[in-house]
Each structure stands twice: as structure tokens, then as C-alpha cells.
Amino acid sequence: YNTMAARNSGNPVKKVPIHLQSSQNRLIIKGAKIVNADGMTDGDVFIEDGSIKEIGKNLIIPGGTRTIDARGKYLMPGGIDTHTHLQMPFMGTKSIDDFYIGTKAGIAGGTTMIMDFVIPEKGESLIDAYQKWRSWAEDQVCCDYSLHVAITWWSEKVKNEMEILVKDHGVNSFKVFMAYKDVFMLRDHEILAVLEQAKKIGALVQVHAENGDVIAENCKKVLAAGVTGPEGHELSRPEEVEAEATNRACMLANQVNCPLYVVHVMSKSAGNVIAEKRQQGAVVFGEPIAAALGTDGTNYWNKCWRHAAAHILSPPLRPDPTTPGYLMDLLARDDLQLTGTDNCTFSSEQKKLGAGDFTKIPNGVNGLEDRMSVIWEKGVQAGKLDPCRFVAVTSTAAAKIFNMYPQKGTIAAGSDADIIIWDARKTRTISAKTHHHATDNNIFEGMTCHGVADYVICNGRVCVDEGQVKVLQGYGRFIHRAPFSPFVYDLIREKDARRAAALKPVPRSGYDGEMVSIAQQV
Ligand code: URP
Ligand code: ZN
Ligand code: ZN
Ligand code: ZN
């Protein structure tokens, strides 16, 4: 137990008995091309007790150490999925991938850590909701996890609980919704209050950027016109509804100089807003998801209802088929910074809740298992990302922004041994028939991707072994994240200083002319 506890002080004691890991507590991976966000080297990686101990050539290692031959393959930090909703109660049902199945699917595809969202109900204590999510995840997760917390209502109590979560519970990110009117949506003055508090306590505000008022009105019109199928979803919330909210969120954050993180960037125009704001110096980060990089909104017009409904999420995929390539270009240029999935899966039976009314189709798609392959295929294989940029957008940027670096997000001595050995020559074809998700549909059905995770190592444990998935339920730990991530708040501090300097009165002599008299109101 000791090394685990020491590596992650403040965490509850590790639940997995050490004997379950000891047979594999030493591992050497030989001959790989080691890829980090800032460069590639050839060498061997020695792992002991869950962390990377040494990197180099001709390392002297203890006898009995397992050797993995990785010649001709890439060795990279495991993926960090910044955005999942496992077993989330939503729209009258619950997403079908639970913390066991979801993390298992993620590991199968090369993801070694997830960040899920606690979503308190209106009026519910944030701490209570957080404890509920912890209890759901704790004995289920196969890989490390962390939690963002959503702010779905506002009060003094919520404000205080944000601070408690940051100080005592390892949370440094809070999501606000500008959509889902009457459910999760906050008004601008409430979002401002969240931003003010987040800045004070060193947290990052994440935003679901869509104009909820406009969507509510449009839904009525689209249904009244007789459009009840999945295409109504996109018709009621087109691109500009996302772009407007993205711009408004950036403006609100900029007014209080609080860092902002736009989750699930789904359209060209929302991506452009973020790119432009960043050029103007705003501290804003954009997260496109696997769905938007791998497929598009033409699927909503598919003649098969089940097919179309499987693609429903918010904001929607865009019917412009050049959108995925455009978002990948933004990612390549660092106009967008990192990727998640918004994995929130529902079976076709669950999607059926919206059979006669698209507004009742549970919102959410898969991605956790396939994100790494989809981004490799559409990014690296397509010649848009080099392997270093691939690592940056799938792992390193997440670790930095959410303040887990260098424990996570890099191959370095002292870092957690969250590692994938990736064979870029192999291909696989994605299908619901073979995936590890609990759902019967897959939005990437039939897509062939280069890049297969031959080995996936979580905290030193081989969880995919020569392509065989060998996960351990409850093995993952909760990762505490400290506030004031330097990769985020250093920029904020500099801007604060500049703004304070600019905020000074002009010294001038008074105006001594006559002043008009205002008539007394009776
Ligand atoms: O459709 C989606 N995105 N479902 C999950 C909830 C959210 O807004 O992230
Ligand atoms: Zn959202
Ligand atoms: Zn179909
Ligand atoms: Zn989400």
C-alpha cells in the first residue's frame, strides 16, 4: 500500500490488495519509439511499483523482470479522456456504460484515465452529489479517474461548497450549462458568480455553450411543423446557437479574467470563436470530442431511425461534412487544445424514449473506446498531426490544464506508469459487435482505423496484454487535483497585473463651470 499512498498523498488508501499486482510489479519495455508531447526518443522504459523508474538504453534491471518487446511500435502516455458520463441519470434514464464497463472499454482502446462529471440536481448539495459519484465509481473503475462538478443552481451554499470541493476533495474544475433550460441551465449573472468564485479559489470553469432559450423556442416550432424525428434535433439548435453561446461565455470569462474551458466544441463557427479569442489573449481552451472529429450530422437524416437517434448528442453533430476535418485542423494548430469524448451511451431501447418526439431522445454517444484510434486515423494517418501532437491532444494537455502534470500525461521518471504500446501498422474496424461498451450502437460503425493498442498499462499493471483485455474491477484510484494549475493561472496572473495597471483614474483639475439644476420631482 505504501508506494501508492506516497505517490498520491491525500488519497484514500488503495483498495486493491498489493498481491494482485506484485506478480507484475516490475516491467521493462524494450526498443520502442518513446513519444512525448515535446519530442521522440528511442529507448527502454523500466517500471516498478506503478511508476516509471528509468528511461534509457542498456538499463541494469533486477532479475525476474518481465520484458515486453516493443520494437517498431510507439510507446506513449495513456489517453486521458477529459469528458465522460458513466452511469449518469439523465432524461429519465441512465447512461448504460457504468464505471466498470466504461473504463474497461476505455482501456481496451488505449485510455488510462477518465474525468467524469458529477451533476447535482437543482437544490442538491454539491458535496452530497460528489460523494454519490465517488461511491458509484470507487469499486468499479478499472483505471484512475477524477471528477469535475457541475453547477446547476446558484446560492451562497453552492459558492461555499465549491471552495470545500477545491480545498478538501481534489476538484479544480466546474461545469456550467448555458443549455438544458429549466434543468441544468444557468443565467448569465449566475455564470458570472461562478466565474468570480472559481477565480478566487483557483478553479477552471467549463462551459456547455448553447443558447438554451433559443433552443426551447425552436423545439416548439420544429415539432409544430411536423418534424418529430432526429433531424429535428439539429434543426432546433444549429451552429450559430452554439457559436453565440461560445462567444458569450468567452466574454463573461474575460470580464472577470477567469480561465475558461469550452467542452464539446462541435462546429466550425464555435471553433473559430475560440481560435479568435485566444489570438486576442483570452485564457480559453477548446475540447473537440471524438464524435465530432470522426463523424458528422448528415447521420440525422439517415432513413433508419435507430441509426439517426444513435447520433443524438448536444450540441449536435453538424450536417456540413467538412466539419470533422476542420476541427482536426484547429487541433493541429493549437487553436483547440485537447480531446475528450462526452461518452454518454444509451442503448437503442433507451433512445426509443424519443420515438415520436426528438426532444425526448436521450442525448449522448460513445467515444471512450475509440477516441485514440479515431484521432490517430483522422489526425496522424491523415498527415495533420505528428505523433507528438497526438500525445499532446490525447493526454499531455489534459494533464497540464487540469493540474495532474507530470504525474500524468508524460513518459518520464517518476510519472505514473500509464502507458500504451501502439502499433500504427495494424488496423481495426470499429463495430458495436466487437466493442466493449454496453450499448448496441456505435457512431463509428464500420470505420477502419490505423493504430491498435497492443499493450495498455495502468499504474504499472498490464491491462491489455498482446491485445487481450485483462482489466481489474476497482483497480483505479481517485486522482486529487490541486487548484491554480500553473499552465492556466500563470497567464491569468499576468493579465491581472496588466489590467490593474490600466485601471487608474486620469489626474485632472475639476471643472468649475455652472451645473444645470434638476427640477424637484413631486
Ligand atoms: O448530449 C450530451 N452531450 N450528453 C451529455 C450531457 C452533456 O451535455 O455533456
Ligand atoms: Zn454538455
Ligand atoms: Zn441503420
Ligand atoms: Zn458531457
- If you take atom 5 of ligand 1, which residue's CA is the nearest one? 364
Gap between the Cα atoms of 394 and 514, Å rounded:
67
Output the nine-digit C-alpha cell for 12.
484514500
Domain count, the chain: 1
The secondary structure of residue 101, as a DSSP letter, is H
Could you tell me if residue 2 is inside a domain?
A: no
Q: Report how far apart, in Å, the C-alpha atoms of 273 and of each of 148, 243, 266, 327 are.
A: 24, 7, 12, 12
Testing ligand 1's pocket by substitution, the residue of 314, 360, 366 carrying the most ligand atoms inside 8 A of its CB is 314
Which atom belonging to ligand 1 lies closest to the Cα atom of 179? 8
For 20, phi and psi rounded to 5 degrees?
Answer: -75, -15
Residue 224 belongs to domain with CATH number: 3.20.20.140
Atom of ligand 1 nearest to the CA of 180: 8
Listed residue (31, 95, 49, 23) closest to 345, CA to CA: 95
> Going by CA atoms, what residue is nearest to atom 3 of ligand 1?
314
207: part of which helix (H) or strand (E)? Answer: strand 204-208
Residue 281, in any domain of the structure = yes
> Is 449 contained in some domain?
no
Q: Report how far residue 250's alpha carbon sits from residue 409's, in angstroms, rounded to the nearest whole number.
A: 27
Mutational pocket test of ligand 1: of 289, 344, 439, the residue with most ligand atoms within 8 Å of the beta carbon: 344
Asked whether the CA dihedral 500, 502, 503, 505 is positive or negative, the reply is positive
- Domain extent for 325: 78-411
Most informative mutation of 82, 83, 85, 86 for ligand 1 (most atoms within 8 A of CB): 85
Supply φ then ψ for residue 24, to 5 degrees: -125, 25
For ligand 1, atom 9, the nearest C-alpha belongs to 342
Count CA within 13 A, CB hemisphere, residue 361.
Answer: 31
Q: Residue 430 falls within a domain, yes or no? A: no
Per-residue pLDDT of the chain (522 residues; tens, 9 = 90+): 233 333 444 444 445 544 444 445 999 999 999 999 999 999 999 999 999 999 999 999 999 999 999 999 999 999 999 999 999 999 999 999 999 999 999 999 999 999 999 999 999 999 999 999 999 999 999 999 999 999 999 999 999 999 999 999 999 999 999 999 999 999 999 999 999 999 999 999 999 999 999 999 999 999 999 999 999 999 999 999 999 999 999 999 999 999 999 999 999 999 999 999 999 999 999 999 999 999 999 999 999 999 999 999 999 999 999 999 999 999 999 999 999 999 999 999 999 999 999 999 999 999 999 999 999 999 999 999 999 999 999 999 999 999 999 999 999 999 999 999 999 999 999 999 999 999 999 999 999 999 999 999 999 999 999 999 999 999 999 999 999 999 999 999 999 999 999 999 999 999 999 999 988 766
Whether 32 is covered by a domain: the verdict is no
Neighbours of 83 (CB within 10 A): 27
Long-range pairs, 215-222, Cβ under 8 A, ≥24: 215/179, 215/181, 215/241, 216/181, 219/359, 222/358
CA 364 to ligand 1 center in whole angstroms = 6
Atom 8 of ligand 1, nearest CA residue: 314
Distance 56 CA to ligand 4 centre (A): 40
Q: Whose CA is nearest to atom 4 of ligand 1?
A: 364
Pocket of ligand 1, candidates 176, 363, 365, 443: which has the most ligand atoms within 8 Å of its Cβ, to mutate?
363
User: In the structure, which protein residues have their CB atom closer than 6 angstroms to any atom of ligand 1?
Assistant: 85, 208, 264, 313-314, 342, 344, 363-364
Is position 28 within any domain? no
Find the 17 Cα to ligand 1 centroid distance in Å.
36
**Burial label, 480 (beta-carbon count in 10 A; 0-12, 13-18, 19+):** middle
**How far is the centre of ligand 4, averaged over its atoms, from the C-alpha of 256 (Å)?**
25
The stretches of 28-125 forming alpha helices (DSSP H) are 99-108
Nearest atom, ligand 1, residue 312 CA: 1
Contact assessment for residue 347 and residue 438, using Cβ atoms and an 8 Å cutoff: yes
Question: Ligand 4 mean position to 325 CA, how many Å?
Answer: 22
Instruction: Identify whether the C-beta of residue 63 lies closer than 8 Å to the C-beta of residue 84.
Output: no
Classify residue 15: in a domain, yes or no.
Answer: no
Ligand 1, atom 7, lies closest to the CA of 314
CA of 83 to the centre of ligand 4 (A): 6
194: CB partners within 8 A, 6+ apart: 151, 154, 162, 174, 176, 186, 205
Q: How many C-beta atoms lie closer than 10 Å to residue 409's C-beta?
A: 29
pTM of the model: 0.95
Asked if 113 and 137 touch (Cβ cutoff 8 Å), the reply is no
Please tell me the predicted confidence (pLDDT) of residue 18: 44
- Provide the sign of the torsion angle of the four alpha carbons 392, 398, 401, 406, taken in this order: negative
**How is residue 461 written as a grid cell?**
499493471
The protein residue whose alpha carbon is closest to atom 1 in ligand 1 is 313
Query: If you measure from the C-alpha of residue 469 to the centroid of ligand 3, how many angstroms do you get, rounded to a whole number?
Result: 29
In a domain, 189, yes or no: yes
Tell me the CA–centroid distance for residue 208 and ligand 1, in Å. Answer: 8
